Amino acid sequence: MPHVHDHDADHESVYDGLTGGDDSQWAFGTDFEDPLAGVDTTIAQGVDASALAAYCLMLGDDALVYSHRLAQWTSNAPDLEDDIALANIALDLLGQARLLLARAAAADPAVVPALPDGSPVPPEDALAFFRDEAGFRNVRLVEPDNGDFAVTMARLLVFSTYRLALLERLRDSNDPVLAAIATKGVKEVAYHRDYAGRWFLTLARGTEESRRRLLAGLALVWPLYDELFRTHHVEAAAADQGFGVDPSGLADEVGVVLEQVLTTSGVERPEIAQTGAVNGQTGRGGRHTEVMGRLLAEMQVVARAHPMGLW
Amino acid sequence: MSGVQAEWPLYEIFVRGKRGLNHVHVGSLHAADDEMALRHARDVYTRRNEGVSIWAVRADAVAASSPDEKDPLFAPAGDKVYRHPTFYAIPDDVPHM
C-alpha cells in the first residue's frame, strides 16, 4: 500500500544526505544540481499561458511516453550494460517530462485533471497518470511496442536526432523555465543520439542477421517520421510568441544528420508511405495509435487505483 | 571476418571521482572494443554523479600477482615499521597523507 497523507520523514532524509550538508563522507561525487536553481519562473509578457501549458504538454508527453517504452527494456536487454544504458536514457527523459509537466501545470492549472479533495498527488503526477488518451499530446513515433533491439535503436536514433535539434533551439526560448529545461536536456539527448548512432552503425555493418533486423526496424519506424515536422497550431503559436519551436523548421537539419548516419552505415533512406492524420489530427492533436491505450493502462493503473496515495 | 564470438571481452574499469586524486578500480564489464567499454563504463559506473574521468583496460592486459607468491612478496614488509613516516610531526596543512 502507498503511504496516505503522512509525510515519511525517513524517506526524505535519504535525499537530504545526498543533496545538502557535509557530503565528504561519500567516496564519490554527490553534488547534484537542480536544473531550475535560480531560474525566474514568471511567464514572459506577450506569452499566452494556456498556449505555453499546451506546448509544455507536447514536449513533456513525448518524453514521458518514450521513457515508459524504453523502461520496458529493463531486465530484458541483450546484455547488462545495455540494459542499464537504456534505463539511464529512460530516466533522463522522465526527468525532462517531470519538469515539463510541472511547467504546464504552473502555467495553466486548468490542464491538470481534478483529483479528490485532499489528494497529495502533485500536479505533474496528475497529468501523467490521470489524463485520458485523447489528452496526451505526444507524437505517435514514441508509442509503438519496442520490437527487438534493432527496432529500438532505429527509433531511438530518429527520436533523439529530432529532439536534440528541437532542444538546441529551445535554449533560446523566452520562457526561462523552458530554456533551462532545454539546456539540461541537450547534454542528455546528445548522449542518447550518440548511443543510438553507434549501435545503428554497428548493427548495419555487423552480421547479415543484424543488418536484416536493422533494415526491418527502420522500415517499421519510418512511417511516423513526417509527423515529427508537422506544425500543430499550438506549436505555431509557441514559435510566434517566442517560447517554442516550429518543428517544420527542423526537418532539414534532422534529415542531414540522419543522412550522415545512414550513409556511413550503408543504408538507404526508406521510401515508405507515411501514416496519415486521422480526421485531420495526429498525436499532437490527441489522436494516437492503437497501442497507446494499452501503454497508458499499464503506466497509469497503479496510480489510478490510489488517487489519495503519496509515493 | 571468420566466425562470431558469443562473448565480448572483459574490461576492468577505473573511475576518478570529483574529489579523488587517482583512478580507483570500480568493477568490470563486457564490451566489444575500447570505445564501447568507455561508453558502457559511463552508463554502468558513473550514473550517480561519481566520475570525472574513466580508464578502461582489457582484463587480459592486466598483469596480476599470484596468491601463491603472497609470502615472499608481501610478508617481508610486515615488520618494517620504520618505513612509515610516523616518527616525525606532520604539519596540519599537509593533505592526503
Q: Which of B17, B29, B44 sits opposite A28 (nearest CB)?
A: B17
Provide, rounded to the nearest whole percent, the portion of chain B with pLDDT above 70: 93
pLDDT tens for residues B60-92? Answer: 999 988 888 888 888 888 888 777 767 778 788
In B, minimum Cα distance to A24 occurs at: B19
pLDDT at A310: 86
Return the C-alpha cell found at A180.
533551462
Of residues A207 and B87, more confidence is placed in: A207
**Is B2 within the bounds of a domain?**
no
Do A303 and A129 meet the contact criterion of CB atoms below 8 Å apart?
Answer: yes
Please check the confidence at residue A8 and state whether its pLDDT lies above 70.
no
Please indicate whether, in this complex, the C-beta atoms of B47 and A84 are within 8 angstroms of each other: yes
Q: What is the mean pLDDT of chain A?
A: 91
The C-alpha atoms of residue A155 and residue A216 are separated, in whole angstroms, by: 12
Q: Which residue of B lies nearest to A25 if distances are taken between CA atoms?
A: B19
Residue B78 lies in a domain: no
Chain B residues in contact with A29 by the CB 8 A cut-off are 17-19, 48-52
pLDDT at B2: 52
CB contact (8 A) between residue B50 and residue A29: yes
Structural domain of B50: 10-64
Distance from CA of A29 to the nearest CA of B (A): 5
pLDDT at A15: 46
Average pLDDT over residues A59-67: 98
Q: How would residue B19 be classed by pLDDT, with cut points 50, 70 and 90?
A: confident
The reply to whether B57 falls in a domain is yes
Considering only CA atoms, which of A228, A26, A192, A6 is closest in space to residue A95? A192
pLDDT value at position B3?
Answer: 62
pLDDT at site A3: 47
Q: Look at residue B89 and tell me if it is in a domain.
A: no
Which 8-state DSSP code applies to residue B53? E
Q: What is the dihedral of CA A203, A206, A209, A215, to 10 degrees?
A: 40
Reported ipTM: 0.73
Distance from CA of B3 to the nearest CA of A (A): 10
Yes or no, beta carbons of B51 and A88 under 8 Å apart: no
CB-closest option in A29, A84, A198 to B49: A29
Q: Is B58 within a domain? A: yes
Range 31-60 of A in CB contact (< 8 A) with B: 31-32
How far, rounded to the nearest angstrom, does the alpha carbon of residue B89 sit from its chain's CA centroid?
31
> Strand pairing of A309-310 and A3-4?
antiparallel
Closest CA of chain B from A24, distance in Å: 9
Number of other CB atoms surrounding residue B16 within 10 Å: 17
B96 CB within 8 Å of a chain A CB: no
C-alpha dihedral, A232 to A234 to A238 to A244, nearest 10°? -60
pLDDT tens per residue across span A96-118: 999 999 999 999 999 999 999 99
Q: Verify whether the Cβ–Cβ distance A198 to B39 is below 8 Å.
A: yes
Contacts 24+ apart (CB under 8 A), A272-279: A272/A219, A272/A222, A272/A223, A273/A223, A274/A223, A274/A224, A274/A225, A274/A226, A274/A227, A275/A140, A275/A223, A275/A224, A275/A227, A277/A230
| Minimum-distance CB partner of B48 among A28, A81, A82 | A28
User: What is each CA distance from B48 to A57, A296, B31, in whole angstroms?
Assistant: 28, 29, 21
A30 → closest Cβ in B8, B15, B49: B49
In the stretch 196-235 of chain A, residues with CB closer than 8 A to chain B read 198, 202, 207
Query: What would the mean pLDDT of A41-69 be, rounded to a whole number?
Result: 96
User: Chain A: residue nearest B7 by CA?
Assistant: A79
A29-43, A130-144, A171-185: range with lowest mean pLDDT: A29-43
pLDDT average, residue stretch A82-86: 96
Residue percentage of chain A with pLDDT more than 70: 90
Q: Does A116 touch chain B (CB under 8 A)?
A: no
Percent share of chain A, pLDDT over 90 = 84
To the nearest whole Å, the CA of B69 is away from the closest chain A CA by: 31
Residue A305: pLDDT band with limits 50, 70, 90: very high
Residue A4 has pLDDT above 60, yes or no: no
Q: Quick check: A137 and A53 in contact, CB under 8 A? A: no
Cα B28–Cα B29–Cα B35 angle in degrees, nearest 5: 115
B30 touches chain A (CB under 8 A): yes
User: Does B49 map to a domain?
Assistant: yes
Collapsing DSSP states into helix, strand and coil, what is residue A159?
helix
Return the pLDDT at A16.
47
Q: Which residues of A touch B44 (CB under 8 A)?
A: 80-81, 84
Return the CATH number at B53.
Answer: 3.10.20.520
Answer with the residue of higher pLDDT: B86 or B2. Answer: B86
Residue of B nearest to A86 (CA): B43
Tally of domains within chain B: 1
Binning pLDDT at 50, 70 and 90, where does residue A132 land? Answer: very high
- For chain A, domains (ranges, CATH) are 44-310 (1.20.1260.10)
| pLDDT > 80? residue A18 | no
Residues in A closer than 8 angstroms to B4, CB to CB, are 207
Is residue B25 assigned to a domain?
yes
Task: Name the closest residue on chain A to residue B32, using Cα atoms.
Answer: A202
Beta bridge partners of B56: B13
Place A180 in a pLDDT band, splitting at 50, 70 and 90: very high
pLDDT at A13 over 60: no
